[in-house]
Every structure is written in C-alpha cells, then in structure tokens.
Amino acid sequence: MNSRRLTAPAIAVTMLAVLGGLSARPVASAAELAALAAPFDFVVTPLNSAPPAAHGGRTVAPDLAHLRSWISAVGAAVGLADADGNGRADDICLVDPRDDSVRVAPVRGTGDRFAAVRLNPPGRPDSAVAPMGCVPTDLTGDGVTDFLVYYWGRSPVLFVRQGDGYRGGDLVEPAQHWNSTATVIADVDGDGHLDVLVGNYFPDGARILDPRADDDQRIEMPAGMARAGNAGINRLLLSRPGGPGRPPVFVDASTALPARSARSWTLAFGLQDLTGDLLPEIYVANDFGPDDLLVNRSAPGRPAFERVEGRRDAITPKSKVLGHDSFKGMGVAFTYRDGHLLPTVLVSNITTPWGLQESNFAFAPQGSGDELLQGRVPYRDRSEQLGLSRSGWAWDIKAVDFDGDGADEILQATGYLQGDRWRWPELQELAMANDQVLAHPWAWPDFQPGDDLSGHQHNPLWTYAADFSPPRYVDIAPRLGLDASWVSRGIAIGDIDGDGRPDAVIANQWQDSVVLLNRSRTTWPHTTIRLLRPGSSAGATPAIGAQVRAVTPDGAQLRAELQPSNGHAGSSAPELFFGTGSGADTSFALRWRTSGGVPHSAEIRLSPGTHTLLLDDDGTVRSMDDDEGRRGWSR
C-alpha cells in the first residue's frame, strides 16, 4: 500500500512533464532565423505625424467614463488605392483617431501629387460621431476611386469623386445610428454589382461617444464572454445602378443573414468563394462569441446564407472547432497552401501569456468545397502545428508573398492599450464573472489612460519554413527590426512604389502609422496582376471577386482571389501578387463574373512583371498595360 501511495505523485509528475513537453513549441536557432530572414528587407517610415491638438482618448457616455480607454481602443484604419489615376496604389485613406480625421493623401515619399483631402460626413459636425474605417471602392462603376467611410454614431457615408474633392452622401437614407467596426464590399448575390456588408458592434442607437447620454438605456456591454448576442445588427446592402453619373441605390437585405450572426459583436469579415460558384462565402469574426461561416446560396437579387458548423472529435477542444469557439475573433484572411483548391482560413484572436491565452486559428482544408453545400465543414484548426497559434492581442491579418518564392508570408497587427499600469488581473476577474452582469457597464473595471493591456507586443511577420521538422511558420519580425511596440489595428497591402513587390501600411492606434516598403532580395521574379472589368462608362473598374490560378514553369500551382476589403480596418489595393518561380512565361487561368453577372473563364500566359488585364463581358481577356492600362485601371 505504501509503495502505491508513493508512486502516485511520481506518476502525476511524469504525466505533467510529458504533457508539458508535448505542448512546448519548437524554437528556431539563431542560425535558422538568420537564414529564414535573409531574403527579406523592409524600409520603415512614418505614414503620418501627430495632428495639432491631438488627443489620446475619446469622450464617452457617462456610464462608460470609467472604462474610457477600453472604448477608445479602436478606430485606426487604412486603405490603399490609386486616388489620382497615376496607375499606382500609392495613395491612402487614413483614419487617425487622434483627431478623428479621415484623409485621402499620397503616401509619404511618393511625391506631392495632390493636396490631402479630408472626408467629412454630411450635416453638422457631431462630436458623438467618430470614423472607424475607410474602404477604397468603385461603387459607381465609372473607374474612379471613391471611398466608403464607416463610423460609430452614424451609418456609413459614400464619398464620390467630384472635381478635386469628394461629395459625401449617406449610404442609407435617412441616416441611421449605427456603431460599425467592419465593412467589406463584394458582389454577394452574383448580379454583377458590388454590395456592402457592414459589421456593427455596440447596439444600434446606443450613444457611446455622447457625454450627454446619461439616460441612454440602449448602452450595453456584451452579454457574456462566450456567447453574447446583444450587439448592433449587421447589415447587408444590395446595390442597384443609380443611372449615369449617379451613385447606386442600396436595398437593405439584412434579413438574409442568419439571426445569430446578425446580432454578433462583429470585428472583421472575410469573403472568399469556397464552393466554386463565384459567389463568396462569408467568414464572420466575432468578439465575445463564436465566429460564423456562412455558405452563400444566393441568386441575383435574392441573397441567402446558411450557417455551417464543424464537428468536434475526441481530441479537439470545443473552441478549436469552426463555429463553436468562445474566443475574440478580430481579423481574418485567406492563404492557399501546397496547391490546395481551398484556402487556409487565418483568424486573429487574443493570445497573451499571463493574460488571456486563447489561440489564433489556421483552419486548414481537409476536404472539398462541395461538402459545404451539404452542410459539412471540411476544415480543421492546425494553428499550433503550423506555428501560428500565439502572437498577442491580435487584430487585422494579411497573407501575401513578400519575397516572391511562391509561398505567402503572414503579417498580423497586435496590441491593445499601451501604458505603464498592468491591468490584466482586473480583466481576468471580469472574464470569470457571471454572464448575467457583464452587459452592465458598472460591472466592468476601470480602464483609463496609462493602463496597459498587451501594449508592448510586436506585429509578427511569419514566413514558412518548409525545411524545418516539422514544417511550420516562423516569426522573423525581430530579425528584421520590425519588433517595435506598435499598437496596431489595420493592415493594407499594395505595390506602392511600382517595383512589382508588395508593400504594406499599418494603421496604429494613438500613434503614428507606418509604411513598410519592401526591399526584399530574391532571385524569384514577381508577377503582379491588376484585374479589371468594363465599368458603367468608358472606364474600367476592379474585377472584385475574380479568381486566378497560376501554373508556374516548375509545375507549382498558386491561387488568389481579388477581395481587397477583407479583414479588420485594413483595405488592400486591388492587386494580386505571385512568385512565379523562373523567368519563363507563366500560365494563368482566370474566372470572373461580368458586369451582368455572367460567369466566364479564360487562360492567358504572362511574363514576369506587372500586368493590367481587362476581363471583358464577352469572355475575352485583353491586356491594358502601359498608358492604356493606366487609364483603364483608374479612370
């Protein structure tokens, strides 16, 4: 008996040691990190500077004053575009929370091509309204870049180019009181016209930023950490052409969204065709509750979506199953790996040691897209095996091939509140509180200027180490000097300087935002493709939703889909980047919907370099390179 009693603790210690060893992450050596980082190089410069009378927090409703910094933690955003028609994505639409401004301007260092333009919503200025994001778009279809801005305190505004400036008009009339945190633009019903999907956060009508709102019964915090369903209603707005020279008319089709998804605390959307019908499925990344994958069963003018859920097995935690997680989804992106027909779905969550250790997701394909149409989910999370599970308090995430080797790198925004008073113990107490009290602001701890929650993390830059055992992604940001403690929100990707390599801009909260100019040294040639389709007039407009499959001379298959507005607070340029493997021509297979919604496909061979292609309504593909391409690309 005594010997058995003595061995029980030993067995327990042994088991814990074994489990600890199994959960330990592989660590790359200094030599391995140096070799992985060697091809990469980035020049980092400020994108903006502190405006006059900059502030570091928002004025909020009285009931929220004690957690003012929590409420002030979002709002930095950026979009990359060609605003002046020079054929390059070297202009930004930047949201700076330090003065609640939205400005369209050239990226610093690209020339003073036009004076910065501030986009102000129509009507009288309202201090209870703050911009949260800006999406470059061409909703009018005339080939000229316009901008859609979304806010806390009002419904979105479409700014249409007019002369040297922009004319703002309400997306819905009369304007409504929404608190929006994400917006994506795509043709969701397949009729050939771009639609708008708006993710709302705090309840509709809640005067979150109004210091006079001391009697607003609509102000609520999330009704639970894991399954809150009391947010503002997500909106799906279908567009109808408004006639020559007029913006489109929008029809509210929000009832097509499943009820649970529509009332979630949404922070990001990811649109991607997963079933092969050129209709984008919708990944909804939600705070305080499960994310949703919505299968698109729409017909022109008749949107329809079905929520699907993954199945749990004996070795998978519930929160690792798609549609069942209780994490804090704050960003989503797609990357095609190893020639798969389906992309891996990358999702940002909170992963802070000694704070809240959830897990980022990397939902890898385990089957075909046809299974989604049958209600089955062909995805399993492999974030831990791939080295992507842990990073920080994470937000936007983007996947792009920075060095042209045929495999995407992954860049992620991290950080929440930066200060010198560590406040994780109070937040952990809140996370363990009864869900019955969480909706009440008084139940939340104080979060004030100077408090810190994951405020000193760096934005990881993962590259795929195919030769490692096991193969996995490795964060090389510190080796490249990209480990500054930015508190980042949105990321936009585009070729800013016209050298064919993808660059990045990062929108930071209460800090200067930054530009990452790509100077990576590689022997792999890049092929950059800009896809257009005929617009509503003589110009051409980005072919949002078009798909590309490249077969490189060495037989590798690369895939991409043009969905530049995906994610949280970062809208990329409408460009696709491929590392095509040699100097020889590459075969590209293209699929798209015409301006009338008709599916087409075609093949073309391209040499390395930058190409602008017109995907015509008759199913042909026409090169628009050089001067003709610049006119069609932006005008």
For residue 245, what pLDDT band results from cuts at 50, 70 and 90? low
Pairwise CA distance, residues 274 & 43, whole Å: 36
| pLDDT per residue as tens digits for the range 518-553 | 999 876 778 999 999 998 877 899 999 999 999 988
In the prediction, which pLDDT does 536 show?
Answer: 80
Q: Are strands 570-571 and 514-518 parallel, antiparallel or unpaired?
A: unpaired
Q: How many CA atoms lie within 13 A of 403 on its CB side?
A: 19
In the prediction, which pLDDT does 121 show?
Answer: 96
Q: Of 40, 3, 45, nearest to 475 (Cα)?
A: 40
pLDDT at 177 over 50: yes
For residue 627, what pLDDT band results from cuts at 50, 70 and 90? very low
Q: Write the burial class of residue 596 (CB in 10 Å: 0-12 exposed, 13-18 middle, 19+ buried).
A: exposed
CB atoms within 10 A of CB 95: 28
Q: Which range has the worst mean pLDDT, 3-7, 9-13, 410-414, 572-576?
A: 3-7
Higher-pLDDT residue of 7, 313: 313
pLDDT at 600 over 90: yes
Average pLDDT of 82-105?
Answer: 97
pLDDT at 619 over 90: yes
| pLDDT per residue as tens digits for the range 467-491 | 999 999 999 999 999 999 999 999 9
For residue 633, what pLDDT band results from cuts at 50, 70 and 90? very low
Average pLDDT of 24-48?
Answer: 92
pLDDT at 34 over 60: yes
Average pLDDT of 582-587?
Answer: 84
Average pLDDT of 84-93?
Answer: 96
Average pLDDT of 44-60?
Answer: 95
CB atoms within 10 A of CB 294: 22
Q: Of 364, 337, 369, 363, nearest to 348 (Cα)?
A: 363
In the prediction, which pLDDT does 632 show?
Answer: 33
In the prediction, which pLDDT does 27 show?
Answer: 86
In the prediction, which pLDDT does 3 show?
Answer: 44
Report DSSP letters for 16-43, one per residue: HHHHHHHHPPP---HHHHHHHHTT--EE
| pLDDT per residue as tens digits for the range 605-617 | 999 999 999 999 9
Q: Tell me the percentage of the chain whose pLDDT exceeds 70.
A: 94
Average pLDDT of 131-156?
Answer: 96
In the prediction, which pLDDT does 553 show?
Answer: 84
| pLDDT per residue as tens digits for the range 73-87 | 999 999 999 999 999
- Return the residue matching tokens 């061409």: 138
The residues that bridge with 45 in the sheet, in sequence order, are 515
Average pLDDT of 488-511?
Answer: 97
In the prediction, which pLDDT does 13 show?
Answer: 53
Residues 6+ apart with CB under 8 A from 517: 42, 43, 44, 45, 496, 497, 503
Q: Tell me the percentage of the chain whose pLDDT exceeds 90.
A: 84
CB 116 within 8 A of CB 104: yes
In the prediction, which pLDDT does 631 show?
Answer: 34
Q: Which range has the worst mean pLDDT, 63-67, 177-181, 203-207, 621-625?
A: 621-625
In the prediction, which pLDDT does 8 show?
Answer: 55
| pLDDT per residue as tens digits for the range 447-474 | 999 999 999 999 999 999 999 999 999 9
> Which pTM does this prediction carry?
0.94
| Average pLDDT for the chain | 92
Higher-pLDDT residue of 11, 199: 199
In 379-502, beta strands by DSSP E: 379-381, 394-400, 409-414, 421-422, 451-452, 461-465, 472-475, 488-494
Residues 6+ apart with CB under 8 A from 574: 89, 530, 531, 542, 544, 562, 564
For residue 244, what pLDDT band results from cuts at 50, 70 and 90? low
